[in-house]
Amino acid sequence: MTRTAFERQLLAVQEDMLVMAGMVETAIERGVEALKTRNVNLAQQIIEDDLKINRKRYETEDKCLELIATQQPLASDLRTIVSVLHITVDLERMGDHAEGIAKIALMLADEPPLKPYIDIPRMAQVGIEMLMGSLEAFKDRDPARARAICDQDDEVDALYEQVYRELLTFMINDPRTIQRATYLIWTAHNLERIADRVTNICERVIYLVEGHIEELNVSKY
Amino acid sequence: MRETTIPGKQESRDGAQAVGVSLGGLPYRPAHSAETAPVVLRLDKVGVSYGNVPAVNDVSIDIYKNRITALIGPSGCGKSSILRCLNRMNDLIHSARVTGSVYLDGVDINSDAVDPVQVRRHVGMVFQKPNPFPMSVRENVAFGPKRQGTSGRGPLNDIVEKALRSAALWDEVADKMAQSGTALSGGQQQRLCIARVLAVRPEIILMDEPCSALDPVATLKIEDLMRELARDYTIVIVTHNMQQAARVSDYTAFMLASEHGVNGQLIEYGATNEIFTNPKDKRTEDYITGRFG
């Protein structure tokens, strides 16, 4: 006995999730690009596209609920669906953070740049690498990879700390920079949250494969 | 700061406080490793063969008091044979031979010194097809206690009413006590059979596919009843309906035959929530996700 139709539906919700992840990746990339190049059109595009990300999330959720209601998934099938439900929530929030960066890009578009952006694009780059890696770990059902990706979160946290201190120095030295510096701190905060959400995805990969919840991103404070 | 109290504020096991009034939630089923209930039935390397054909081998499981244990597996895996070992029903099958031991409260019920009739008083059984006796509702339930020597209208009426109430049937048949049991609906007949078992006050109730002849509403009624009965009884159920095992049982044993209908064995036994979310054995996973065979 096989369940071909069910298996195809189960694959479809995972594909939806991966498509959504691609949309979020683009949003993060473009958000930082809009900030760097002060591109108002691009920033507005990201804000519009976030609606599509949100719709994709609800669409995937609907399909998952339909599978639960009609197919009575159990064991690894059930864990797959539960993981997709959780990961799409995380992805949707990451999309919101990218949208937040786009809004900041809009606010900063008319202001002279405070400094060349180096650490913020680096944070975005690491965050995107982590995101793509976590979804590959999901596809490959690879908990070791998921655990390894979480370690990269430390790099993002360190960059955030660095950006924060640097911008504080700007503000102390010249109060006229306070508004711009604060916006940039928000940007860095959005990126830090994105990387944090990736660790949630990694936790779901471990849950999916090993059947237990392991907290990977325990606060060091 | 003034301390505010919320009416009905509940403290959970980890010390965290839940806001709002109690919703009357039931505790979740325990993990196997956290089980505190005593073992009432211990199966030690139990096997059954019919003639020279081994049906099932080497089943060792502990059955806990006031828990519902489900035996699941494809047809021919030996789950009904194992169930019948728990009250010596295999004695009634001429070619059946049982090996290993079944300890009921520490006594091996397969020992020659043990009277199978006594075993069946302690371990009652409900069958796949409702099988009320062709007599009145009252007489169906009073049958066992009478055989055990209870007499007098008063005491018997009390037993009958109590058993019917426990079987969640009293309200539906209180004015039909003289009617034939066979005139009831299928679901009512099955609850009548459960009442008949309860009337002799067993410790353990075995159920062999108790809902397979019932419609979904009657099935859910029986399942609800099983959860109620588990407060006072230990239940072992054989079911083909995996969702039913998932819904009602605390423990699940998955069995599988090595070849078609030959040499059934226990593959995995554990807490139901673990078996259905994270089974350890690939064969269990394949069976419960519907990818078996």
Q: Complex ipTM, two decimals?
A: 0.78
Site of tokens 């940039």? A184
Q: Using an 8 Å Cβ cutoff, are A102 and A186 in contact? A: no
A74·B246 Cβ contact <8 A? yes
pLDDT at A221: 62
pLDDT at B9: 45
Q: Using an 8 Å Cβ cutoff, are A187 and A103 in contact? A: no
What is the average per-residue pLDDT within A37-65? Answer: 97
pLDDT at A28: 98
A211: left (phi over 0), alpha (psi -120 to 50) or beta: left
Which of A1, A68, A74 to mutate: most B Cβ within 10 Å?
A74
Q: Encode pLDDT of A142-152 as tens digits.
A: 999 999 999 99
- Tell me the backbone φ, ψ of residue B262, rounded to 5 degrees: -125, 140
Q: Where are the beta strands (DSSP E) in chain B?
A: 10-11, 17-18, 39-50, 53-64, 68-72, 96-104, 107-108, 123-126, 204-208, 234-238, 251-259, 262-271
A74·B293 Cβ contact <8 A? no
Low-confidence ranges of chain B (pLDDT < 50): 1-11
pLDDT at B33: 79
Chains A and B: how many Cβ contacts under 8 Å? 35
pLDDT band at A220 (very low <50, low <70, confident <90, very high): low
Q: Using an 8 Å Cβ cutoff, are B251 and B271 in contact? A: yes
How far away is chain A from the Cα of B4, in angstroms, using its nearest Cα?
A: 30
Which residues of chain A lie closer than 8 angstroms to B246, CB-CB? 74
Q: Which of A43-47, A176-180, B76-80 has the lowest mean pLDDT?
A: B76-80
Name the residue among A17, A23, A26 with its Cα closest to residue A124.
A26
Interface check for A141 against chain B (CB to CB < 8 A): the answer is: no
Which of B256, B268, B277 to mutate: most A Cβ within 10 Å?
B277
Out of B276, B278, B291, the one facing A1 most closely (by C-beta) is B291
CA nearest B243 in A: which residue? A72
Interface check for A77 against chain B (CB to CB < 8 A): the answer is: yes
How far away is chain A from the Cα of B213, in angstroms, using its nearest Cα?
A: 22
- Give the separation between CA A185 and CA A164, rounded to whole angstroms: 6
Interface check for A74 against chain B (CB to CB < 8 A): the answer is: yes
pLDDT at A3: 83
Angle between helices A75-108 and A40-71 (to 10 degrees): 160
